[in-house]
Amino acid sequence: MNQQPSAPPNSLTSSDGGMSLSLQATLDLLAQTIVNALGFEVAVVNLALPDGSLKVVSCVGPPEVRDTLLGTVESNDTWNRILAASGKWGLLCFLDHAEVVDGADMLSWIPDMEVSDEPDAWHPEDALFAPLYASDKSLLGVLSVDVPRDGKRPDKMTCDALEAFALSAALALEHATLRSRTEEAVGLLRHLATHDTVTGVGNRSLLMERLNAAVEARDATGSPFAVLFMDLNGFKRVNDAHSHAMGDRVLRAVAQHLQSMTRPEDIVARWGGDEFTLLADNVRDDAAARELGERVESAISTPIVLGDDEFEVTASIGVAFSSANDKATADDLLHNADAAMYQAKRHGHGVWVYDESLRVAAQQRLHVEALLRTALTHSRLVLHFQPIIAVHDGSVAAVEALLRLKDDDGSLLHPSAFVSAAEELGLLVDIEHAVIWKACQQAKAWERAGHDLRLSVNISVRQLSDIDAFESVLLGALEDNGLPARKLTCEITEHASLDVSAHTSQGMRRLVAAGVSFSVDDFGTGFGSMTYLRAMPIQEIKIDRSFITHAPTERTAAAIVRAHAILASELGVRCVAEGVESSEQHTLIAAVGVGFAQGYLYQEPVTADQLLDRLDALTLTSEPAQLTGR
């Protein structure tokens, strides 16, 4: 007799191999103990399936019996009849199969068994059954034994022992069922915690979990992968023009497009808002990662039809590829993919793969950010000054303060390297306040040295959005340094557009009434030069260098310069030509009536001391204009 239990699948196996293996082992052990200790040839555990039928999940006995029985599913008819007749917890009954047809027969038979201590012959067709009930009385399964080796009906003690085994089997099944239900609930909770409720794809935490696993696998086995960061272009318009509900539907459709073009093992996740991420294993190299990005791009741009509306969504996609020997962490890779996405966005849309140039730029950016954070405390703000001359006689009419940021090695960074970073970090406003104060202090020093110059400072439009704070900073700096307000011009530089509110324009008018001038810098190139002229009190425009550069050789540029001069004259405001580098440009602006000029032709920006030396020399020699004669 082969008494080795075997392990058939049962309905509790599917959700968790570990747990049901231990259940299987328990049931097998029970069955085997019944066979070994109670002297039966066959012991079987049947599991109740959801449809009411019973499946043999454990069987100990002769191989031929085991092979025949294991895994078989018995319809519930027979069992129902047996259980209807004897279905009380722990009740055991002998059955003569000839009589099974009628529960009453069986019932009439049972008392015999229960009262009889007399061993009786075991009928070959007899079996002993114990229904296995859960504590809520639902049927979990049935334990049955067959053919006692001594050929006799079991005595009361054996029946009691069988009842105890049945109870154990029921407990094991109930325990496993509860665990399986708990696992189902835990699985559901886990799904909710790791998936996005709007689109159904993964969320940030799923992506990070899998990305960390991919990094570990890369470090252990060198397996390469790619992570993609996608930002939908102009998605805000969908929300604005339709509804947020429609926006959600579009996001769902985008998620479906992404899911349908990826492999099952890839992870699509919504990062937030209109940003999605994709983690793809086994991507060969940079080129394959780019191809993947391009396929994703075209999948996303598949038109989305929702009712009567059709949406064409495009995305900017950043790709970071990682392979053996790469030391990048999950955070690094996401950061890189994000940086590449921004690079794609800067180019309108499309796919950008993170590479060395972006790495250098990102490092430089981090360095600049660190410098900016300590700009005020570590005296990193340095001002250079450039004269603005009166075109008709070359005298220095004003000086523009131009900011530099001092690096640790003493070198100076120009605004193009740090102004937008300062703005994004929210540091620009405070930095400009410091610049205004320093510049006023410097202008006062020149005044004391006998040079009556106007001072121009650059301010970002952001300053104007909190005009009350700006007003008090400006008036405070003037008062602290004893500089008259009429000496100060604020050049409005544009890094973002500004909706000029009535409150802003009133505040500006108060400052103008106090004597301060406002100038529109880089006129003709920004977001709203003309709008500013109407909405703000403006006393000066500065014609952008790009027009001045081309004016001598390009008719359109020359016409624009002339038009600016006329506009300024009509409005009664000062007109300054920026970036004058050649005598042809000087002649041209003089001819069209531009009143003031600034540029390398006259003087490059220099330190305050250098400028003072030149101003002194100029005063001594009474030489007009062309300070350095470049």
- Over the window 512 to 541, marking each residue x when it contacts Mg ion by CB under 5 A and - when it does not, the resulting string is ---------xx-------------------
Q: How far is the CB of 601 from ligand C2E (least distance, A)?
A: 6
Beta bridge partners of 385: 401, 606
**Which H or E run includes 519?**
strand 517-523
In the complex, minimum distance from the CB of residue 579 to ligand C2E, in angstroms, rounded to a whole number: 4
- Given Mg ion, ligand C2E, none, residue 419, with its beta carbon under 5 to 8 Å by kind, binds ligand C2E
Among Mg ion, ligand C2E, none, what does residue 600 contact (CB within 5–8 Å per kind)?
ligand C2E
User: Could you give the angle at the alpha carbon of 494 between the alpha carbons of 553 and 389, nearest 5°?
Assistant: 55
Amino acid at 422: A
Residue 561 binds which of ligand C2E, Mg ion, none (CB < 5-8 A, kind-dependent)? none
Asked whether the beta carbons of 232 and 274 are under 8 A apart, the reply is yes
Residue 286 burial (C-beta neighbours within 10 Å; 0-12, 13-18, 19+): middle
The entry of Mg ion, ligand C2E, none near residue 432 (CB within 5 to 8 angstroms by kind) is ligand C2E
Give the x/- contact pattern for Mg ion in 560-599, rule: CB under 5 A: ------------------x---------------------
236 binds, among ligand C2E, Mg ion, none (CB under 5 to 8 A by kind): none
* CA–CA distance, 220 with 213 (Å, rounded to integer): 10
Structure tokens at 588: 């041209």
CA angle 459, 460, 461 (to 5 degrees): 120
State the nearest-atom distance from the C-beta of 594 to ligand C2E, in Å.
14
Residue 266 interaction partner, one of Mg ion, ligand C2E, none, beta carbon < 5-8 Å per kind: none
Can you tell me which residue has the tokens 């969504």?
Answer: 313
Instruction: Give ∠ CA 534-540-545 in degrees, rounded to 5.
Output: 105
Is the CB of 148 or the CB of 579 nearer to ligand C2E?
579
Which of residues 426 and 450 has its CB atom nearest to ligand C2E in the complex? 426
Select the binding partner of residue 579 from Mg ion, ligand C2E, none (C-beta < 5 to 8 A, by kind). Answer: ligand C2E
**Structure token pair of residue 364:** 């430089």
Q: Dihedral angle at the C-alpha atoms of 572, 578, 580, 585, nearest 10 degrees? A: -50
Applying CB under 5 A, does 196 fall inside the site for Mg ion?
no
Residue 44 · residue 162 · CB < 8 Å = no
Count of all residues that appear for the chain in the document:
630
> Which residue, 7 or 382, is less far from ligand C2E as judged by CB?
382
CB of 598 to Mg ion, least distance (A): 8
Shortest Å, Cβ 384 to ligand C2E: 7
- Which segment (207-215, 487-495, 563-571, 596-604) binds Mg ion by CB under 5 A? 487-495
Q: Which is nearer to ligand C2E, 442 or 493 (CB)?
A: 493
Residue 528 identity: G
Non-local CB neighbours of 315 within 8 Å, separated by 6+ positions: 230, 231, 232, 233, 276, 296, 297, 300, 301, 349
Nearer to Mg ion, 232 or 568 (CB): 568
Q: How would you label 120-133 residue by residue, b for 16+ Cβ within 10 Å and e otherwise? A: eebeeebbbbbbbb
Q: Chain centroid to CA 87: how far?
A: 58
**Segment 383 to 412, residues that bind Mg ion, using CB under 5 A:** none
**Both structure tokens of 74:** 């018995």
Which of ligand C2E, Mg ion, none binds 568 (CB below 5-8 Å, type-dependent)? none
Q: Is 62 helix (H, G, I), strand (E, B) or coil?
A: coil
599 binds, among ligand C2E, Mg ion, none (CB under 5 to 8 A by kind): ligand C2E
Which residues contact ligand C2E by CB under 6 A? 386, 402-403, 414-416, 419, 432, 435, 458, 460, 491, 493, 521-522, 545, 578-581, 598-600, 605
Q: Which of 494, 450, 499, 457 is nearest to 478 (CA)?
A: 457
Residues in 423-462 that interact with Mg ion by CB under 5 A: 458
H-type helices in 390-528, by residue range? Answer: 419-424, 428-448, 461-465, 467-481, 502-514
498 φ, ψ to 5°? Answer: -130, 130
Contacts 24+ apart (CB under 8 A), 325-329: 325/222, 326/218, 328/215, 329/215
Shortest separation between residue 522's beta carbon and ligand C2E, angstroms: 5
Q: How far is the CB of 459 from ligand C2E (least distance, A)?
A: 6
Nearest approach, Cβ of residue 434 and ligand C2E (Å): 9
How many residues of this chain bind Mg ion (CB under 5 A)?
Answer: 5
Q: How far is the CB of 385 from ligand C2E (least distance, A)?
A: 10
Q: Which does 581 bind (CB under 5 to 8 A by kind): Mg ion, ligand C2E, none?
A: ligand C2E
In the complex with ligand C2E, the residue whose CB is nearer, 122 or 523, is 523
Measured CA to CA, the distance from residue 80 to residue 76 in angstroms comes to 6
Report the interhelical angle of 502-514 vs 467-481 (nearest 10°). 10
CB of 406 to ligand C2E, least distance (A): 14
Nearer to ligand C2E, 267 or 576 (CB): 576
CB of 417 to ligand C2E, least distance (A): 9
Task: Write down the least CB distance from residue 265 to ligand C2E, Å.
Answer: 49
- Residue placing its CB nearer to Mg ion in the complex, 333 or 436: 436
The binding site for Mg ion (CB under 5 A) comprises 458, 491, 521-522, 578
